[in-house]
């Protein structure tokens, strides 16, 4: 039974592990910045569970005629996160290789290349995308945590421990705290950066030249002019 969640951490070889790490870095990091670290951890487990529950009956119905690859890896959860983000995005169109496409169709266009990744099960990837878009469209509203509960999760173990580990970037679960966190990076508080004061010294005095009368020139110069 534990495989319904832990299958996303199963990799058969080194190439599939490398691709799984790249998928986690690209899709998991952006999704965590949008929902917070606590929500990201809970939704990762929820998407893994939902995709597995969708996969089991489909695998039982389709495996009679052809053998299917066992699910494994983070790709189904990454597609679920992409599907949820596209369904809740306020942007209608985006660019894919320079071509404008609807945001809702973007996960479906990336489903084909994702199925070609090493160790990815096409049926499991499809189930993950369906689970993510179902959550994004509001069919799994029970997974949405209230702001009060989300803010309390930041002080509960193990999230309270993650906040104290140096080198880790913890994203608050509350949307208000995330906005304050992002605005503090854009507009730092006065004195956050070292400044250097420069003393303004008075400009140096320019040398003054007194005009000389032609009669005050040197006698040698007058004599040479006369001889010339």
- Burial of residue 94 (CB within 10 Å: 0-12, 13-18, 19+) is middle
The pLDDT profile of the chain, 228 residues, written as one tens digit per residue, is 778 888 888 888 888 888 888 888 888 888 888 888 888 889 999 999 999 999 988 888 876 656 667 778 888 999 999 989 888 887 777 777 777 888 888 888 888 888 888 778 888 889 999 999 999 888 887 888 888 887 888 888 888 888 888 888 888 877 777 777 666 655 555 555 555 555 555 555 545 445 455 544 444 444 444 444
- Exposure letters 171-194 (e unless 16+ CB within 10 A, then b): bbbbeebbeeeeeeeeeeeeeeee
Tens-digit pLDDT profile for residues 142-187: 888 888 887 888 888 888 888 888 888 888 877 777 777 666 655 5
To the nearest 10 degrees (0 to 180), the angle between helices 122-136 and 75-87 is: 30
Region for residue 42 given its phi and psi (left: phi exceeds 0; alpha: psi -120 to 50; beta: otherwise): alpha
CA 166 to mean position of chain CA atoms: 20
Torsion angles phi and psi, residue 147, rounded to 5: -65, -35
Backbone angles phi, psi at 13, to 5 degrees: -145, 175
pTM: 0.71
The string of DSSP letters for 132-166 reads HHHHHTTTTGGGPPPHHHHHHHTTSTTHHHHHHST
pLDDT given for residue 138 in this prediction: 85
Say how far residue 204 (Cα) sits from the centre of its chain: 54
Instruction: Please tell me the predicted confidence (pLDDT) of residue 194.
Output: 56
| Contact predicate 54/130, CB 8 Å | yes
What is the 8-class DSSP label of residue 215?
G
């Amino acid at each position: 039974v534990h495989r319904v969640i832990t299958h996303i951490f199963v990799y058969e070889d080194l190439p599939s592990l490398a691709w799984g790490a790249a998928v986690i870095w690209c899709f998991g990091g952006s999704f965590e910045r949008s929902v917070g670290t606590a929500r990201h951890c809970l939704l990762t487990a929820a998407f893994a569970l939902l995709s597995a529950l969708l996969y089991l009956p489909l695998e039982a119905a389709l495996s009679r005629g052809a053998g299917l690859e066992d699910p494994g890896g983070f790709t189904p959860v990454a597609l679920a996160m992409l599907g949820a983000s596209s369904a809740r995005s306020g942007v209608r169109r985006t660019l894919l290789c320079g071509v404008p496409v609807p945001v809702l169709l973007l996960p479906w266009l990336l489903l084909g290349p994702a199925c070609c990744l090493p160790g990815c099960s096409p049926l499991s990837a499809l189930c993950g995308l369906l689970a993510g878009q179902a959550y994004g469209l509001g069919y799994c509203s029970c997974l949405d945590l209230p702001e009060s509960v989300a803010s309390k999760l930041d002080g509960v173990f193990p999230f309270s421990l993650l906040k104290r580990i140096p080198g880790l970037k913890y994203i608050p679960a509350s949307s208000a705290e995330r906005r304050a966190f992002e605005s503090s990076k854009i507009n730092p508080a006065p004195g956050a950066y070292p400044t250097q004061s420069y003393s303004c010294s008075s400009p140096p005095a320019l040398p003054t030249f007194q005009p000389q009368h032609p009669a005050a020139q040197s006698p040698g110069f007058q004599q040479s002019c006369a001889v010339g």
